[in-house]
Amino acid sequence: MSEATDDSMWYPNTPCVLGIDEAGRGPVLGPMVYAAAVCPISRLTDLRALGVNDSKALREEHRDELRSKIQGAAFLRTFETILTASFLSESMLRKEKYNLNLVSHDAAIGLVQKAMDHGINVAEIYVDTVGNPEQYAAKFRERFSAVEKVVVAKKADATYPIVGAASIVAKTTRDRRIREWCFPEQRRSADFRPGDANIAVQFVGPTGSGYPSDPMTKTWIEHNCDVLFGFPTFVRFSWGTAKVILDKNAVRVEWECDDEENDISTTKVAKKKSVKTKDIKSFFPTKRTASSIGAKKRKSLKHACPLPQALQSLTLRRAYTLA
């Protein structure tokens, strides 16, 4: 049986090594991608022969070439998890904070579980560290007690070829996502009705590297910041750069919480109250309220935080479909 059709190396009794790395942790634009590469321990020599290394040390064309080799190698399997900018923003801005380290840890653990769910015998795990290496490794050992070896280390992508392979997969996937990104807020020409051309949302200009320190990236974010809706979903609202620009350029709104009204005292006989829920339509102004609100009312509006990102796409669609 030829190597291209030989699946015996993936049988549950074949011990494999699994490496994990990410791409896009630091940028304020686009997704963060986690990838895992898996190889039978008996084929590590073949893996080294591919010349995989830390993706950041490779030119783009070389990364793409190695990605093709990785995909074409029968002794390698890869898995990916794409964490969108919207997901990252919502995770880090919610009431119970879900910080980037925890998001990263859960994504990596999920990739190991995904490989195991495919029947792969993961005997060794190698991961590029996020946060404290010892604590991170302890999470893997607790979750996957049958795994013989867990290594969490700095610069693991430059030290262990299996992590280098994962690094290349993660980086090339993110680069492709950035190149092919279609803004969901930007209406396609086929969707326009007569007279709509002047209200089409357009996001223009080069985005730069996507890193907060890049002047071109900062300029793009500033030029594409809407005073009401903030940024498109391509931007990570929870990043400091985005917050500063929102504070400077966007309208601020205070969203009142009804928690106190819904609390039931434990010292009294509980008598359930009917809680009036708001229909989603109540968040948007009718023609009457939109036209009747005066300058005095506008001055009295309290502004404490930007419009929640979860409402943006819905609000945007509503705003652009009003008759």
Please enumerate, by residue number, every residue annotated as part of a binding site for a divalent metal cation.
21-22, 128
Apex 235 CA angle, 229 and 240, nearest 5: 95
Neighbours of 141 (CB within 10 A): 13
> Distances from the Cα of 125 to the Cαs of 11, 144, 152, 169, in angstroms?
18, 10, 8, 17
Give the residue among 76, 78, 77, 131 at the shortest CA–CA distance from 106: 131
3-state secondary structure 193-206: CCCCHHHCCCCCCC
Please give the distance of CA 170 from its chain centroid, rounded to a whole number.
13
Look up residue 129 and give its two tokens: 């560290």
User: Residue 143: enclosing H or E segment and its boundaries?
Assistant: helix 133-143
* Helices and strands (H and E) in the chain: how many: 13, 5
In angstroms, the CA 202 to CA 189 distance is: 12
> Which residues are documented as binding site?
21-22, 128
56-64 — which CB contacts under 8 Å span 24+ positions? 56/157, 56/167, 56/171, 57/158, 58/168, 60/175, 63/168, 63/171, 63/172, 63/175, 64/172
> Distances from the Cα of 152 to the Cαs of 44, 68, 146, in angstroms?
19, 27, 17
Look up residue 282 and give its two tokens: 């109540």
In angstroms, the CA 130 to CA 140 distance is: 13
Look up residue 12 and give its two tokens: 């549950």
With tokens 């903030």, the residue in question is: 230
